[in-house]
């Protein structure tokens, strides 16, 4: 992740067209019933276990900082004008410190890795219903739903199930 950051950052310095560019990054390594996660930005990783969806990552955004401070509620954050202002992104600075964590990944668990193009357009409850209905067809269904709801950003996602 640090190497990817360096490559993006150096490219932004070499070419004026790329000045100030940055991106989000979610990385998962699944090994021995554990998922090792690296996270930068406001893309997200969810885990569904025992019919409960849980967001494993925390957005690196100005609005998430306001929520943590208690200045605004999670509901207010959904429609805040600075919702997409990131506090940490890949390639914006010479060095970046990603969030790194390890979580259990048990038989029957489902991971959903997605960009904010999905979570800005589809409610978490709807994501849960679609993924638990059929995790294999869920990516296509969720992209279609996000596009039907306005699809104003790129929509990237993958589902992974521990069989």
CA pair distance 53, 33, nearest whole angstrom = 18
Residue whose entry in the numeric block shows the structure tokens 């690296």: 38
Domain containing 132: what range? 2-161
pLDDT tens over the chain, length 163 residues: 999 999 999 999 999 999 989 999 999 999 999 999 999 999 999 999 999 999 999 999 999 999 999 999 999 998 899 988 999 999 999 999 999 999 999 999 999 999 999 999 999 999 999 999 999 999 999 999 999 999 989 999 999 999 9
* Six-digit token string for 147: 């596009």
* Six-digit token string for 156: 């990237």
- Say which CATH number the domain at 95 has: 3.60.40.10
CA pair distance 128, 10, nearest whole angstrom = 39
- What is the reported pTM? 0.94
From the list 116, 94, 152, the residue with the least C-alpha distance to 39 is: 116
Number of domains the chain contains: 1
pLDDT in tens, 51-90: 999 999 999 999 999 999 999 999 999 889 998 899 999 9
């Amino acid at each position: 992740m640090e190497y990817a950051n360096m490559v993006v950052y150096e490219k932004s310095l070499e070419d004026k067209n790329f000045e100030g560019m940055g991106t989000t990054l979610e990385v998962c390594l699944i090994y021995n019933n554990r998922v090792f996660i690296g996270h930068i930005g406001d893309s997200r990783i969810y885990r569904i276990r025992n019919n409960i969806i849980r967001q494993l990552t925390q957005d690196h955004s100005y609005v998430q900082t306001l929520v943590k401070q208690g200045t605004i509620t999670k509901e207010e954050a959904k429609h805040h004008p600075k919702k997409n202002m990131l506090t940490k992104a890949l390639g914006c600075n010479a060095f970046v410190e990603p969030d790194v964590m390890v979580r259990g990944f048990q038989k029957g668990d489902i991971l959903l890795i997605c960009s904010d193009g999905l979570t800005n357009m589809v409610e978490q409850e709807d994501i849960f219903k679609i993924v638990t209905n059929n995790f294999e067809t869920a990516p296509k269904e969720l992209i279609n739903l996000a596009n039907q709801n306005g699809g104003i950003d790129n929509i990237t996602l993958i589902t992974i199930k521990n069989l």
